[in-house]
Structure 1
Amino acid sequence: MYNDYRMNDQNVKDYQKYERTIKTINKRFKTYGYERIKTPMFEQYDLYSQVKSSINKREMIKIIDRTGDVSVLRPDITVPITKQLADNYPELPNDLRYYYVQDVFRQSLLEEGSIEGTQAGVEYFCETSAEADAEVIALACHTLKDLGFSDIKLEIGHASFFHEFIRMIDLDAADVEQLKGLIQAKNIVELGPFLRQFNITEDIIEAIVTIPMLYGNPVEVSERARKIVQTEKMDETLDYLLEVYEILKLYGLENNIVLDLGLINHMGYYSDVIFQGFVEKFGKPVLMGGRYNHLGNEFGADLPAIGFACEVESLLNALTTDTVSPRTPIDIKLLYDEENLKESILIANELRERNYTVLSYPVEKASSNVQNSIYQLLITSKENIFKYRDEQTSFQSLNELLKLLNGAKGAM
């Protein structure tokens, strides 16, 4: 939720911007066939402490309930959605598409700021396929385009490419985390000396040092990556990523896609394709996602899935005055003279019952209302007028008005 509650003009504008952003996201998610769901605000601490996840347990907001059990304010949404599904299905019954817009709560140990933030995301429960993975990545890109961003980059990687190298070297968990950090930071200077502390062959060291540089055009990067592959699984991974890229080109998104084999699994449960989205003049990802085929196994179910989440506050911060869409117009502005107040109220109520957004004003106050509208109605003692674009038509009854509205919508 947007967290500044000072009732001033800037607060109203900020909240309108927030609402427009959410409305745009909701609309795009629905166009891909996703249904909205929600998860409880309070969850059992054990739900998160027992599964693989990058959520730092010390960042969770913990609460002791009256029975002495530890609960947490919702720090993540993918985990409880998967748990809810696993409680009902031991295996995937058919493809399932869900989306959410909910607050998550975390207290950062490194940064000051609000513990509350809004996430908007999708979870597509389906078997692995290049078509499904490309569709979700396309949805992520289309969502950012809908919000008005023009310079969008979706960086795509694969969890198993780096994992194959980890299987070939003997490092403990702490050393693996340090290695991940060096690769993510593209710290090539320190990467080689770090690896040479261990009993690792020079060809493997040289291959791992190359990983941070495997970034750019998917075809070109895959060609360079073929020179360092050590296993058949790595080759298969590159083939799969290229297949996903070819499908994304069919969506017309080839200029938005970057292959980054140094993109490391940022959530403990991601198992295959991983991706993150960047927009112009904003230095951190505004969305992250990936395929998590094994998270359901943590709850005794086989529920392969892919999804992503947008940090709504990051999107709002990234939106500039150039990219923010203008204030959403209402459907109908209704103007009336004093003698026809009763009739105008009846008409406004009937239209609202039909899901039109209606604002009504006395004629003398019309000039002080600057809200844009798609249609205008003028209700006076002399005549009733329907205005759309540069045309105006008189009408006598509600039925005539509804016909005019339907005709105008059909012409849009």
Structure 2
Amino acid sequence: MYTDYRVSDKNVKDYQKYERTVKTIQKRFKTYGYERIKTSTFEQYDLYSKVTSSINQKEMLKLIDRSGDVLVLRPDVTIPITKELADNLTKLPNELRYYYVQDVFRQTPLDEEGIESTQAGVEYFCESSARADAEVIALACHTLKDLGFDDVKIEVGHAGFFKELIQLISLKNRDIDRLKTLIQAKNIVEIEEFLRDIGIEEEIREAIAKLPFLYGDPTQVSERARGIVQTSKMDETLNYLTEVYEILKLYGLENNIVMDLGLINHMGYYSDIIFQGFVGKFGKPVLMGGRYNELGNEFGAELPAIGFACEVESLIKAANGDAVSKRVPIDIKIQYEKAYLAEAIGVANELRERNYTVLSYPIAEEQLNVQTSIYQIKVANEKTFNYRDESTPFSSIQELLKLMIGSKGVR
């Protein structure tokens, strides 16, 4: 988050990037029918310590309230949203779509990462279906494109594929965690050494060793993966991922989707399809998500859902001067002779009531304002509407709105 409120040009520009990024994300979420939701900044420690999650308890910021209860600053948003819903519902009555933009707090061992960051994400409570899962992945992809990123890749995997394979052998939890880490890192040499040391049958060992290579074009990866399928459920998983990909092609996103069967569950509550988003040459995911059908069960409710979250600060870093960091033009500039201040204010008020972004200032101060705008209006002895180097006089707000309709600028 941006917490330095000193008046400096850099701070103002940085916060403008932050605000524009959040505004763009929220606009896209709303186009898919999501409504904003908010959770408490302070949560009970037990809420996170007793549920299935990969959130390291040592990373949580803890404090004691007046009654002696241990609280934490919110380290995650999905868990409290699910808990709040489960407090009121035991079963899902209908589909529910929520989005959030909230700060989360974790003290990570990496010095360069701050404790506080802003997450923007969606939670779509619905039964499992290829249609619903594809829609959420499409939303994730469209969100990144809206932010000005051209090279967007969404890697899609499935938590159940690795889970099915690992259930065929007997491993301790620490060995499973080690194997997950190696596969996620695509560390082929150490994977082979690890598998030799634990002594499992050759067919399953070869199947696990091939997981990091099952990456790329979804159709080709699915075909190659058939060769390592050990159970009918693994086969069903491949069919499901193929169906999701076919729907994503209908969204026109086939060039943005990569299948990665070595993508391992990065949040403990993900149960089915999982995905992560990359942009440009940024070296880490800017977006992560998946389906979590069983999280609600931990609170005594059946609340199947799918969602994703992106870290706003990472998106701004990834932009690195691209479209998201450029100053967006305002809608309208009103320039006026000082003697016509009242008329200029009247025009500005009318336009702002119609949700236009309006900047108004005297003509004499024109050189002080370099912000660009789509439309310009001059208020002097004659009022004129200026668009694309054409200047047209108007005498009333009604005439002005007609001119704006003609330029397709009216809302």
Q: State TM-score, norm by structure 1.
A: 0.96
- State the shift of 1:196 in Å: 2.8
Question: Which digits, 9 at most, give the CA deviation of each residue in 1:263-293, with x for residues without a partner?
Answer: 0000000000000011111111000000000
Which secondary structure state, in structure 2, belongs to the residue aligned with residue 324 of structure 1? helix
- State the shift of 1:355 in Å: 2.3
Q: Give 1:261's aligned residue.
A: 261
Amino acid in the other structure paired with 1:76: D
- What pairs with 1:124-143 in structure 2 (closer than 5 Å)? 124-143=124-143
- State the shift of 1:356 in Å: 2.2
CA distance in 1, matches of 2:137, 2:113: 30
Q: State TM-score, norm by structure 2.
A: 0.96
* 2:89 pairs with 1:89: yes
* 2:287 pairs with 1:282: no
Contact 1:148 1:325 in 2 (8 A): no
Amino acid in the other structure paired with 1:386: F
* 2:154 pairs with 1:149: no
* 2:20 pairs with 1:20: yes
CA distance in 2, matches of 1:278, 1:168: 32
Of all paired residues, the percent bearing the same amino acid is 72
- What pairs with 1:358-369 in structure 2 (closer than 5 Å)? 358-369=358-369
CA distance in 2, matches of 1:113, 1:251: 35
Amino acid in the other structure paired with 2:386: K
- What pairs with 1:386-405 in structure 2 (closer than 5 Å)? 386-405=385-404
* 2:382 pairs with 1:383: yes
- State the shift of 1:258 in Å: 0.9
For structure 1, the residue ranges without an aligned partner over 5 or more in a row are none
* 2:36 pairs with 1:36: yes
Greater alpha carbon shift after TM alignment, 237-246 vs 111-120? 111-120
Cα 1:384–1:110, aligned 2, differ >3 Å: closer, same or farther?
A: closer
Q: Give 2:333's aligned residue.
A: 333
CA distance in 2, matches of 1:181, 1:111: 22
| RMSD (Å) for aligned C-alpha atoms | 1.6
- State the shift of 1:199 in Å: 4.5
CA distance in 2, matches of 1:68, 1:322: 49
- State the shift of 1:200 in Å: 1.7
Contact 2:20 2:324 in 1 (8 A): no
Which secondary structure state, in structure 2, belongs to the residue aligned with residue 117 of structure 1? strand
Contact 1:131 1:244 in 2 (8 A): yes
Q: Give 1:51's aligned residue.
A: 51
- State the shift of 1:253 in Å: 1.1
CA distance in 1, matches of 2:335, 2:323: 32
CA distance in 2, matches of 1:166, 1:43: 35
Amino acid in the other structure paired with 1:108: T
CA distance in 1, matches of 2:382, 2:272: 66
- What pairs with 1:344-363 in structure 2 (closer than 5 Å)? 344-363=344-363
Which secondary structure state, in structure 2, belongs to the residue aligned with residue 40 of structure 1? coil
CA distance in 1, matches of 2:3, 2:235: 47
Contact 2:334 2:359 in 1 (8 A): yes
CA distance in 2, matches of 1:118, 1:297: 28
CA distance in 1, matches of 2:158, 2:84: 27
Question: Which digits, 9 at most, give the CA deviation of each residue in 1:309-341, with x for residues without a partner?
Answer: 011111111102244363122222111112112
